[in-house]
Protein backbone atom coordinates (compact mmCIF):
# COMPACT_ATOMS: atom_id res chain seq x y z
CA UNK A 1 0.00 0.00 0.00
CA UNK A 2 1.48 3.31 -1.06
CA UNK A 3 1.45 6.34 1.20
CA UNK A 4 -0.74 9.26 0.01
CA UNK A 5 1.17 12.14 -1.61
CA UNK A 6 0.04 14.54 1.14
CA UNK A 7 1.74 12.40 3.80
CA UNK A 8 4.90 11.78 1.76
CA UNK A 9 5.66 15.49 1.86
CA UNK A 10 5.93 15.27 5.66
CA UNK A 11 7.81 11.98 5.92
CA UNK A 12 10.90 12.10 8.07
CA UNK A 13 13.50 9.45 7.48
CA UNK A 14 15.07 7.83 10.55
CA UNK A 15 18.38 9.32 11.58
CA UNK A 16 20.62 7.80 14.23
CA UNK A 17 21.27 9.94 17.28
CA UNK A 18 24.16 9.58 19.70
CA UNK A 19 24.91 11.34 22.96
CA UNK A 20 28.49 11.54 24.13
CA UNK A 21 29.62 12.62 27.55
CA UNK A 22 32.74 12.00 29.63
CA UNK A 23 32.42 8.93 31.85
CA UNK A 24 34.98 10.24 34.30
CA UNK A 25 32.80 13.19 35.26
CA UNK A 26 29.37 13.33 36.80
CA UNK A 27 26.61 14.65 34.61
CA UNK A 28 24.95 17.87 35.61
CA UNK A 29 21.30 17.44 36.58
CA UNK A 30 20.25 19.43 33.48
CA UNK A 31 22.13 17.08 31.15
CA UNK A 32 20.75 14.01 32.93
CA UNK A 33 17.17 15.33 32.62
CA UNK A 34 17.74 16.13 28.94
CA UNK A 35 19.07 12.63 28.21
CA UNK A 36 16.20 11.00 30.10
CA UNK A 37 13.70 13.14 28.16
CA UNK A 38 15.26 12.21 24.80
CA UNK A 39 15.17 8.51 25.65
CA UNK A 40 11.49 8.81 26.59
CA UNK A 41 10.55 10.76 23.45
CA UNK A 42 12.35 8.35 21.12
CA UNK A 43 10.86 5.33 22.89
CA UNK A 44 7.35 6.77 22.50
CA UNK A 45 7.94 7.54 18.81
CA UNK A 46 9.34 4.07 18.20
CA UNK A 47 6.38 2.33 19.86
CA UNK A 48 3.91 4.51 17.91
CA UNK A 49 5.61 3.82 14.55
CA UNK A 50 3.76 1.03 12.73
CA UNK A 51 6.68 0.27 10.39
CA UNK A 52 9.18 -2.41 11.41
Tell me, what's the pLDDT at 22?
75
Residue 29 main-chain phi, psi, to 5 deg: -55, -35
Measure CA 13 to chain center: 12
Q: From CA 37, how far away is CA 45, in angstroms rounded?
A: 12
pLDDT, one tens digit per residue, over 1-52 is: 676 766 666 666 777 878 787 777 788 889 889 888 988 988 887 776 665 5
31 contact partners, CB below 8 Å, separation of at least 6: 21
- Whole-model pTM? 0.53
Amino acid sequence: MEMPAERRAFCIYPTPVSLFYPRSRQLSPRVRVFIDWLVKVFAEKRSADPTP
